[in-house]
Structure 1
Amino acid sequence: MADYRKILGLLLEGRSYRDVVEIVGCSHHDVARVRQEVEARGLTATVTVSDAELAEWFPDGRRKVSDEYGQPDLARVLASMKANRHFTLLLAWRRYVDTKDSGKKYGYSQFCALFTGYLRTHDLVAVLRHEPGRAMLVDWAGDTMDVVDTITGVSPRV
């Protein structure tokens, strides 16, 4: 998306289309749109234009799709996961899909992405970065396994 504020500033400085395109890295069409708004509104300074006005004059053509979808209660999902170690994101997603709320439902992958974003914004995740094969990382979540001595068949409990 073009930086319309920068284009506006350069045009008001008296720069040519070619200069603006080269500096901002936008198309001639974007520069022409801004020039048209400058002339139509009689603008002389960039300071008088707010970000809201720029967004109104130059919409990016995308609509906010998330308003069409029923929003999952991610705080409740997190609480359920803390309370029950067998509660998975797949189970949470299935419950979300089964609710009778109006609107569309997110698919599983988008639901997981939303949950990951929720965790990041609430600083609830520690990401472990490692070089594969250099160290072994153990996930302590879920049920434990019994280790059985193959010779004696005894499972020593620690």
Structure 2
Amino acid sequence: MPAHRMSMRKLKEVLRLKWVCGLSHRQISRAAGISVGAVSAYAARASAANLDWASVEPLADDELEAKLRLPADQNTQARRVELDYALVHRELRRANVTLQLLWEEYVEAHLGERTYRYTQFCQRYRDWAQTLKRSMRQQHRAGEKLFADFAGHTMPILDGRGGVAFRAHVFVAALGASNYTYACATRSEGTHDWIGGLIGAMEFYGGAPSLLVPDNPRALIARPDRYEPGLGRTAQEFVNHYATAMLPARPRKPRDKAYASYCTLCG
């Protein structure tokens, strides 16, 4: 198991996001607020224990922990220490830093542990770097993602005498694969407005997507973070109830919210 063990409750959420929602390990990392390596390690341990969501869901915490205990040789002999891809990527931008140097530092930092050879280290980093390039081209499966945001402008709601009763905020959502759009007016942009808008959208579409992608709203985020924003309690209970997942778009990451931006233009 990783050095810093997470609670069994969070581990269950990681496995639910993987098996029920079909998210990638990187998406789960961001949604759950843990490293990609930790996600991979727990997923591998669950697979080695021949578990699936049907068998994990009813387990109590102590039962799940017992199920995931494997003989030490199975856990330590097969796995190599994974490199920190994001760190390698950042360090390579510095003058005179090479993959050879970073590999030597990686090996030195993990003396006595199983590490990758230099050629493997380079190939794994290059494979990871290619995923960054592929992210330039977003392709969405039908029903996979629902992007949502509030339009930048409000609209007047008139009273019975023709005066402005209040100015409504416009919630807009769009399916990633088809751009099929839903919109509704709300009193504000609070938590209940976000949740109500998402529920209205799912009722409109006739089902819940695998992943909800709101534009990083404060109303849904308990722990603001540039890389791993954490969901508030209400938002987490909402996604659990609808058996979906929520992955807020990161600030200053336009590819995360390409369709959320599209939504606001529709408003």
Tell me if TM exceeds 0.5.
Answer: no
Superposition TM-score, scaled by structure 1 size: 0.34
Normalised to the residue count of structure 2, the TM-score between the two structures is 0.21
Task: Give 1 or 2: higher strand fraction.
Answer: 2
Greater radius of gyration (CA): 1
Higher relative contact order, structure no. (Cα contacts within 8 Å, ≥ 6 residues apart): 2
